Chains A and B, each alone.
Chain A
Amino acid sequence: MLTKDRLIRLCGARDQLRNVGYAEVSIDEVAKSAAMSRFHFVRQFKTVFGETPVQFRTRMRLDQAKHLLIQSDDSITDICMAIGFSSLGSFSSLFSQRLGQAPSMYRQKFKQSIEMFSPDCMVIMRGAWENDSQISRSAVASE
């Protein structure tokens, strides 16, 4: 039986595993903070979340990569390093395998679609930024 206390500890461990890249902590440390042996932690994590801690972390890395590819102009090498991969080759290979396209293609495809189909709030915010910058430019011009 999965007790509420154990469920909460596993959720806390999942939160820690979401921190990918420079802030990553080892699986052993996460298990320790969940007050379980590594063996028991891995087994319980898989039962509750359907994947091992390593598989979960890999999925989080790829999610973060997708986010950075769309939201930033960082190079793919920088993104690869920022999410905790040490090799561009292994990152690109895994990304292509899971997402069905290379990181560069993913960026090209989804960045365009986001620019074409910005949600209303983004349009409003963009309008606010443009107004702000016009106001700033007017202020500078009048000085």
Chain B
Amino acid sequence: MKIKLNGIFVDDQQKALDFYTNILGFKKKQDIPVGEFRWLSVVSPEGGDTELSLEPNANPAAKTFQEALFEQGIPITAFEVDDLDAEFRRLSDLDVAFTTEPTSAGEVTYAVFVDTCGNLIQIYQLGSE
């Protein structure tokens, strides 16, 4: 059994594609029309073949779940980075809003930002001071 696909809800798929590719730097993997929506996924350019699906939050249950986490400040998922401080500076320069600046938590340093699609995303660096 392998984890090859993960998904998050987004409030607008085109806006999400723009953010996850142009700002975060992921690459588009799948983009297949499904009715009025799309089967849309991105992958990391740094290797690995796990896809992140950007799913529409059209279902009211999905929207409620997504908004509750967002308003409580809870990240929907987390991405690993090699250099958290550099990534924090790069994204800040691109006007990405952070709710948590780089913070040490023992073996991990993490930060949290807004993905403009209704989610908070955590980025973390392992093994940092």
User: Which residues of the partner chain B approach A1 to less than 8 Å between Cβ atoms?
Assistant: 98-99, 101
Asked whether B46 is an interface residue with its Cβ less than 8 Å from the other chain, the reply is no
> In the bound complex, do residue A11 and residue B101 qualify as a contact, i.e. CB atoms below 8 Å apart?
no
> In the bound complex, do residue A48 and residue B73 qualify as a contact, i.e. CB atoms below 8 Å apart?
no
> In the bound complex, do residue B19 and residue A50 qualify as a contact, i.e. CB atoms below 8 Å apart?
yes
Interface of A is mostly: helix
Q: Which listed residue (A11, A99, A110, A113) contacts B67, Cβ 8 A?
A: A11
A47-B99 Cα distance, complex, nearest whole Å: 12
Q: What 1/0 mask marks residues of chain A from 57 to 70 whose CB sits below 8 Å from any chain B CB? A: 00100000010000
Q: What 1/0 mask marks residues of chain B from 58 to 82 whose CB sits below 8 Å from any chain A CB? A: 0000000001001101000000000
> In the bound complex, do residue A7 and residue B95 qualify as a contact, i.e. CB atoms below 8 Å apart?
no
Closest to A49 in B: B116
Closest to B16 in A: A50
Q: Which listed residue (A8, A44, A50, A113) contacts B71, Cβ 8 A?
A: A8
Which bucket holds chain A's interface residue count? 10 to 19
Asked whether B35 is an interface residue with its Cβ less than 8 Å from the other chain, the reply is yes
B110 to chain A, nearest CB (A): 15
> A59-B12, A99-B36 given as contacts; is B114 within 8 A of A2 (CB)?
yes
List 8 extra interface pairs beyond A1-B99, A50-B15, CB under 8 A.
A3-B99, A11-B70, A47-B96, A47-B114, A49-B11, A51-B12, A51-B116, A113-B35
